[in-house]
A = this chain, B = another copy of it.
Amino acid sequence: MYELINKVKELNPLVLHYTNNVTITDCANMTLAIGASPLMSFSYEEVEDMVSVASAVVINIGTMNSSYLDLFVKAGKAANKYNKPVVLDPVGVFASKARGELTNKLLNEVNFTVVRGNISEIKFIGGLDVAGKGVDSFDDGSDASEIVKAVAKKLNCTVVASGITDLVSDGEKVYKIFNGTAKLKKITGTGCMSSSLIASFLPCTDKPIEAAFMGTLSMSLSGELADITKPAVGTFKTYLFDNIDTLDVETFEKYAKVEL
């Protein structure tokens, strides 16, 4: 599966983002670093034009914005219409009624290929009691494989729960990723960037679970490698992008700690 890292650089897929204002620059740079092309829009007028030429679409509700609520739904529906793989990142879905309602609407009106969140967000979507703070997750480290699998089955798509152990499931299989570092939570947007990476891999395979796995692993592994010398957060962020940029099959083979 690791050769997908070559495929993404070869295909250079166009990843269209309807996303938040906090991590939009980092998501663009992350998409470029892995070998894909980012495109961001907040325009109702060009949804059809943009989705029809995109290779994949990301919808990320991170900074809820009253002006974009309908835009995100429109973009998701267009992705379905044009048969484009589409990723939902329900940032902070548990944090407000409005986020819950928007996420609900999106899940009801759009067939997502992948839903990616932290473990609190995924549990919330699955209808469980969750503990979260703002848009951040509470992760006690306990095994949530069965929960993620159940949510994937319920949503009928691939689900990724980022956490101390990352879990990726299509409702049948569960892939586990043990790479990572707590420092990934010390910079903003590593979750959003993972969604961009997953979307970058989606056009490279007909198995969404593989793209979800590769995107998630790319972030956790690069974070781990960026943290080897224990840099402070400014330097860590720079190294994170460096490590995404230089990822190759050999790096995955040497350092990946996964359970398939």
Contacts and interface: CB of A to CB of B under 8 A. Distances in A.
Interface in A21-67: 21-26, 28-29, 32-33, 37-46, 49-50, 53-54, 62-67
Given A43-B65, A63-B41, A133-B14, A241 B246 contact: no
A21 B45 contact: no
Interface residues of A, number: 65
A188 B38 contact: yes
Q: Copy number in this complex?
A: 3
B98 A43 contact: yes
A144 interface: no
Interface stretch (A81-89, A150-158, A170-178, A231-239): A231-239
Contacts of A66: 42-45, 67, 71
Contacts of A41: 63-64
Contacts of A241: 232-234, 237
Q: Binding site of A, secondary structure by majority: helix, strand, loop or mixed?
A: mixed
A257 interface: no
A12 interface: yes
A241 B237 CA distance: 10
Given A25-B188, A46-B99, A37 B232 contact: no
A240 interface: yes
A163 B23 CA distance: 27
Contacts of A244: 233
Contacts of A45: 64, 66, 96-98
A216 interface: no
A139 interface: no
Given A39-B134, A41-B63, A44-B66, A240 B245 contact: no
Interface of A: 12, 14, 16, 20-26, 28-29, 32-33, 37-46, 49-50, 53-54, 62-67, 71, 92, 95-99, 133-136, 185-189, 231-235, 237-246
27 contacts: A20-B40, A21-B21, A21-B24, A21-B40, A22-B24, A25-B189, A29-B187, A29-B188, A32-B186, A33-B234, A39-B92, A41-B63, A43-B65, A43-B66, A43-B98, A46-B64, A46-B95, A50-B95, A66-B67, A66-B71, A67-B67, A232-B243, A233-B242, A234-B241, A234-B242, A235-B238, A237-B241
Q: Which 8 A-B pairs have the closest CB atoms?
A: A234-B241, A43-B64, A232-B242, A46-B96, A45-B98, A49-B96, A28-B188, A39-B134
